Amino acid sequence: MDSLRIHGGVPLTGRITVSGAKNAALPLMAAGLATSGTLTLENVPRLVDTASMEALLANHGLDVVRDDLTLRIGGAASNLDAPYDLVRKMRASVLVLGPLLGRYGEARVSLPGGCAIGTRPVDLHIRAMQALGAVVELADGYIQARAPGGLTGGRGVFPNVSVGATENAMIAASLAKGTSELVNVAREPEIVDLAVCLNAMGARITGHGSDTIRIEGVDSLGDATHRVIPDRIEAGTWAIAAAITGGDLLIEGAYQRHLDALVDMLVETGASVDAVDDGLHVVANGRPQSVDITTDPFPGFPTDLQAQFMALMCVAEGSSRISETVFENRFMHVPELARMGADIQVDGGIALVRGQPSLTSAPVMATDLRASVSLVLAALATDGVSEVSRIYHLDRGYSDLETKLGSCGARLERIRGGHD
């Protein structure tokens, strides 16, 4: 497996660009199953996960054509099965459930795979489909769902906030007969982006960005062209990279309104963060100060930036408390950071981090997407040479990482077929 060799201790300076958001692109691509026309998506990042979704859509019989960062998705599904060998690679594959049910009245989707962080149950997706009149059963490792007469508008109340289940319900309800109300939904920017795109396709969605979404079903969805929003998690990662390396970065394409919770915390650590015309300007001001964070659904602090922020706290002045409330089992990066000299104690969903003047270089191993990039950030801030193995996790969520960081002064190289 590939690994990343990093010569650390160099402040990152200059400009770094943000790609389109993976977590926006995947549900938008799945929405291509719901249209009777052609959906053209711009700014779609080249990632392992987006390639997996392209393969899944092609498996269903759609025409999927990529031209650099533009995807054109059209045609009708000839196969309503999403098989295990495709779905196991990525949890977001379950997002085909709603559009298949909405347009074709039937779907058979394997239980998904993806990052090994907690149980991430699919029951919220199933409940949402049942609220729209679908008959759903789990059998032989598959979600088997039917709505022979089509879906009907209903009221779905989510017991827990779920981004993916909200997205599935939005797409399905857009093609249901009548009006649907979705309560306690996710408010993430990716939800808003999906609603904007669906409305461009002819859907009638209101309330996106709040905790209640109302959808008036339509008979069919049509052609649309939509540009994927910038990846706020990538932008946040680069902001933390500037802070942890003592750097000065202009993060091109970042939207501060998508990152308010992180920006507030970075300012508390002593960094300067300013919104400028083309993005965010982040400047480190000496050793960071420790601050406490608690992850929460948007607009709270993103769980997908928790590992990166923990790396920053490992070299901060003082002690910090990091509370993970969104996913269980999301501290798998802790033992690897400890190999680099970090002082972290974990008790359930809480990590206590005692900042060290510096970390030490070491060979470390990635366990999931965000954990892997936290190790990269720690290595960038550390004198000496570190090697991060199993970086296939990185390729699922960061496009051109070596090139982007290298253009800002980072010294790193991909080692093909490195040790496991």
Distance CA 117, CA 4 (A): 22
User: Which band of pLDDT confidence, cut at 50, 70 and 90, is reported for residue 37?
Assistant: very high
Residue 126's pLDDT is 94
pLDDT digits (tens, 9 = 90+) for 190-223: 999 999 999 999 999 999 999 999 999 999 999 9
Written as six digits, the tokens of 29 are: 């691509």
82-106: average pLDDT: 94
User: Which band of pLDDT confidence, cut at 50, 70 and 90, is reported for residue 420?
Assistant: very low
Distance CA 343, CA 365 (A): 18
Among candidate residues 5, 8, 38, the one with its CA nearest the CA of residue 409: 8
Q: Which fold has domain 22-227?
A: UDP-n-acetylglucosamine1-carboxyvinyl-transferase; Chain (3.65.10)
User: Which band of pLDDT confidence, cut at 50, 70 and 90, is reported for residue 117?
Assistant: very low
Q: Is the pLDDT of residue 115 over 60?
A: no
Q: Which residue has the higher pLDDT, 120 or 46?
A: 46
Q: Is 115 a catalytic residue?
A: yes
Distance CA 12, CA 85 (A): 40
The matching CATH number, chosen from 3.65.10.10, 3.40.50.300, 3.40.50.720, 3.40.47.10, for 3-19+230-415 is 3.65.10.10
Distance CA 98, CA 102 (A): 6
User: Which band of pLDDT confidence, cut at 50, 70 and 90, is reported for residue 367?
Assistant: confident
Residue 100's pLDDT is 98
Q: What percent of the chain has pLDDT above 70?
A: 97
Q: Is the N-terminal amide bond of 230 cis, ω within 30° of 0?
A: no
What are residue 135's phi and psi, to 5 degrees? -100, 120
Q: What is the DSSP letter of 295?
A: B
CB atoms within 10 A of CB 419: 11
Written as six digits, the tokens of 252 are: 């091109």
Q: Which of 115, 197, 314, 408 is catalytic?
A: 115
User: Which band of pLDDT confidence, cut at 50, 70 and 90, is reported for residue 382?
Assistant: very high
Among candidate residues 202, 215, 218, 261, the one with its CA nearest the CA of residue 236: 261
Q: Is residue 102 within 8 Å of 87, Cβ to Cβ?
A: no
Q: Is residue 320 within 8 Å of 355, Cβ to Cβ?
A: yes
Nearest 5 degrees, angle CA 314-CA 273-CA 344? 10
Distance CA 226, CA 242 (A): 31
Q: Is the pLDDT of residue 370 over 70?
A: yes
What are residue 70's phi and psi, to 5 degrees? -110, 130
13-35: average pLDDT: 98
Q: What angle, rounded to 10 degrees, do the helices at 97-104 and 163-174 form?
A: 10
Distance CA 377, CA 381 (A): 6
Q: Is the pLDDT of residue 338 over 90?
A: yes
Residue 414's pLDDT is 95
Coil vs helix vs strand at 289: strand
What are residue 57's phi and psi, to 5 degrees? -65, -40
User: Which band of pLDDT confidence, cut at 50, 70 and 90, is reported for residue 120?
Assistant: low
Residue 393's pLDDT is 86
pLDDT digits (tens, 9 = 90+) for 140-179: 889 999 999 999 999 999 999 999 999 999 999 999 999 9
Distance CA 198, CA 39 (A): 10
Distances (CA, A) of 225 to 70, 170, 179, 198, 202: 10, 19, 25, 10, 12
pLDDT digits (tens, 9 = 90+) for 45-92: 999 999 999 999 999 999 999 999 999 999 999 999 999 999 988 888
Residue 119's pLDDT is 52
For 409, counting Cβ atoms within 10 Å of its Cβ (0-12 exposed, 13-18 middle, 19+ buried), the class is middle
HEC secondary structure over 301-327: ECHHHHHHHHHHHHCCECEEEEECCCC
Distances (CA, A) of 58 to 79, 102, 144: 10, 18, 20
pLDDT digits (tens, 9 = 90+) for 280-300: 999 999 999 999 999 999 999
Among candidate residues 148, 147, 126, 151, the one with its CA nearest the CA of residue 137: 126
Residue 340's pLDDT is 97
User: Which band of pLDDT confidence, cut at 50, 70 and 90, is reported for residue 254?
Assistant: very high
Buried b (16+ CB within 10 A) or exposed e, 13-42: beebbbbbbbbbbbbbbbbbbbbbbbbbbe
